[in-house]
Amino acid sequence: MVIHIRRGVLGILHNTRALRYTLNLTTTSFKPNFPPNSNSNTVNGNLDEALLEMSIGGFTVKFHFYDSVLTECVNNKALNHGKRVHTHMIKTCYRPSVYLGTRLLIFYTKCDCLGDARLLFERMPERNVVSWTAMISAYSRRGHSSEALSLFVKMLGADFQPNEFTFATVLTCCNGNFGFDHGKQIHSLLVKTHFKSHIFVSSSLLDMYAKAGKIHDARQVFDGMKDRDIVSCTAIIAGYAQLGLDEEALKLFRQLQKEGMRPNYVTFTTVLMALSGLAALEYGEQVHGQVIRTELGFYLVMHNSLIDMYSKCGSLEYARRVFDRMPEKSVISWNAMLVGYGKHGLGKEVVKLFEKMRQGEIMPDSVTYLAVLSGCSHGGMVSEGLDYFDSMVKSREIEPDIEHYGCVVDLLGRGGSPEKAFDFIQQMPFKPTSALWGSLLGACRVHSNVEIGEIAARKLFEIEPQNAGNYVILSNIYAASGRWEDMITVRKSMKENTVKKEPGKSFIKINRTLHTFYAWDKCHPNKDEIYEMLGKLYVKIKEVGYVPDLSCVLHDVDDEQKERLLMGHSEKLAITFGLIRTPHGMPIQIVKNLRICADCHNTMKYITKVYGREISLRDSNRFHRVVDGVCSCGDYW
């Protein structure tokens, strides 16, 4: 995470400052003069001269000379030069002070020589809090969390009092179940000290809670901070966004802006992520305007986030405009645009853009092929997707992983071949995951393959017994095949295992207010007006050819009751409310938490014909943009 990395850098910077001002430097006749803005060749040349001077000086070389040369070795990661300095100390029996010993320690960690750094650390005759913190920080920066935590415990056992930089650094290692338990203990220790109020410590503490999903604890830490900087503000906003609490993230962002927060590019990137989850195009455009006004648009990561936001908000035109205007593009930029086209079902655009990418200087990576395979799957381009997978396997430039194999399973399943998808799973070099079996089960529902659907469902019940979606899909497969007794058995199994089904719901934002609808919702304050309009709507679309798809009703009831059940689907209620509350001609944007059913999809097409409205709906799988009776998905989803 960018915030985590940045905070680590801040800690290192402050540790270095502490080192520089810990001791009063003495002067000697040996004082190498290094030009402040020299290129690497010049620096190496000056280092060579300094080391020659060091060799000539022999036993007379003193503290200030070693400090100056080591500083340049650290700044330029000059491993060989630094080792020669260390060797000279040993040969001349020079016993470095704790300051110089720590300087050597930092030098080795900067050059990624953790083993040498730890050996030096263990052999230091004297250590101080900076030495301990430097070693802990080195482990932390390179992802060796357990070593860092172990060393911190050892530091406490040696009766060294950690400072604010030590606490801030070690808290970044407290991730996962094991690490989080340590983090809570460190929090208890902080309560007994005055360091809890320090901005770096508080920021690391709230970041730890946010990453662990304990957003309420993170918010408590944030609210209790006397001083806040942009790092801590961004960390708490990111915590909300990463847990899918996008509305809360956006609300907090607005509040902090009113309090005078000046967002940086990381903050804006985090907010754009939240807006992507909300599909809030209007707010996204406003944030884009702020980015332009604050002149932060030159950051590559900002462009990538804008592409992702516009794509997820259903505006591929703006996403492509940002993409085309980028002064430089990374592989992440191409991947974001490819994923955007794929989610909208534009498989041909995915292939076209991918071929353009291969003609340029940017090399596709593993994520690129995932985007292409997924795009081919959503676009119904089975043969093209299989060709890309075969070329990927044969070229051996990128080794396919389980997710690539999962895309092929989805490709074959969506394409009407659940049998081939099942055979492909059987021959994979990987153990099938729940995602693969889930993809196959979904394909069996679409193509009414009961036999393979039962196999996939049994596997899923073993892997994730509390996932209600698997039970629901199998019961729907039975219902579609008229096997009502089997459907009832599955539903009973859900009750016995206390598995709860997530209710379908749809969202529409009007005048900055988010409206949520459930099937046959009776709680909305405008329910009477909505159902009256819904009745008129049905009459009009039936006049131009709409026929209810009764196969979407998975209950053993008569046709009249089935049609009535279809009318009350949450997305139909949201669309109807949108027709009532938005100006004529204005596009209607809906978000649904589950997959849209075939009848609602067909209904949308007729509504766009009758009312002349564009409807954009984002469900759990993809986007559907319907204009004048035609959906961008090509009726393939």
Question: Containing H/E element for 618?
Answer: strand 615-618
Give the model confidence (pLDDT) of 493-513 as tens digits: 988 888 888 888 999 988 878
Cα 411-415-417 angle, rounded to 5 deg? 95
Question: Could you tell me which residue, 20 or 575, shows the higher pLDDT?
Answer: 575
Residue at token pair 């940017």:
362
Give the model confidence (pLDDT) of 533-567 as tens digits: 999 999 999 999 999 988 777 676 778 888 888 89
Give the model confidence (pLDDT) of 30-67 as tens digits: 445 554 444 444 344 578 888 888 888 889 888 988 88
* Residue 479 in this model has a pLDDT that exceeds 60: yes
pLDDT for the residue 512:
77
Give the helix ranges, DSSP H, for 111-158: 114-123, 129-141, 145-157
| Phi-psi label, residue 417: left if phi above 0, alpha if psi -120 to 50, beta otherwise | beta
pLDDT for the residue 28:
36
Mean pLDDT of 207-227: 90
Strands 505-510, 615-618: pairing is: unpaired
CATH level 3 topology of 401-496? 1.25.40
End-to-end Cα distance, the chain: 33
Between CA 563 and CA 557 the distance in angstroms is: 10
Q: Is the pTM of this model over 0.85?
A: no
Domain limits, the chain: 401-496, 507-631
pLDDT for the residue 412:
96
* Residue 90 in this model has a pLDDT that exceeds 80: yes
* Residue 101 in this model has a pLDDT that exceeds 50: yes
Give the model confidence (pLDDT) of 448-477 as tens digits: 899 999 999 999 999 999 899 899 899 989
pLDDT for the residue 200:
86
Residue at token pair 């153990």:
431
pLDDT for the residue 178:
67
Is residue 67 within 8 A of residue 25, CB to CB? The reply is: yes
Q: What whole-number percentage of the chain has pLDDT above 70?
A: 92
Mean pLDDT of 342-352: 93
Bridge partners of 615, per DSSP, are 588, 626
What are the Cα distances from residue 268, in Å, to 234, 290, 332, 339?
A: 9, 9, 18, 21
pLDDT for the residue 10:
32
pLDDT for the residue 480:
84
Q: pLDDT grade, residue 282 (50/70/90)?
A: confident
* Residue 418 in this model has a pLDDT that exceeds 60: yes
* Residue 253 in this model has a pLDDT that exceeds 90: yes
pLDDT for the residue 458:
95
pLDDT for the residue 43:
41
Mean pLDDT of 178-199: 84
Strands 615-618, 623-627: pairing is: antiparallel
Q: What whole-number percentage of the chain has pLDDT above 90?
A: 58
pLDDT for the residue 13:
31
Long-range CB contacts for residues 456-464, cutoff 8 Å, separation at least 24: 456/422, 459/432, 460/434, 463/433, 463/434, 463/437, 464/434
Question: Containing H/E element for 350?
Answer: helix 347-359
Long-range CB contacts for residues 291-294, cutoff 8 Å, separation at least 24: 294/263
Between CA 406 and CA 312 the distance in angstroms is: 22
* Tokens coding 636: 């393939």
* Residue 2 in this model has a pLDDT that exceeds 90: no
pLDDT for the residue 154:
94
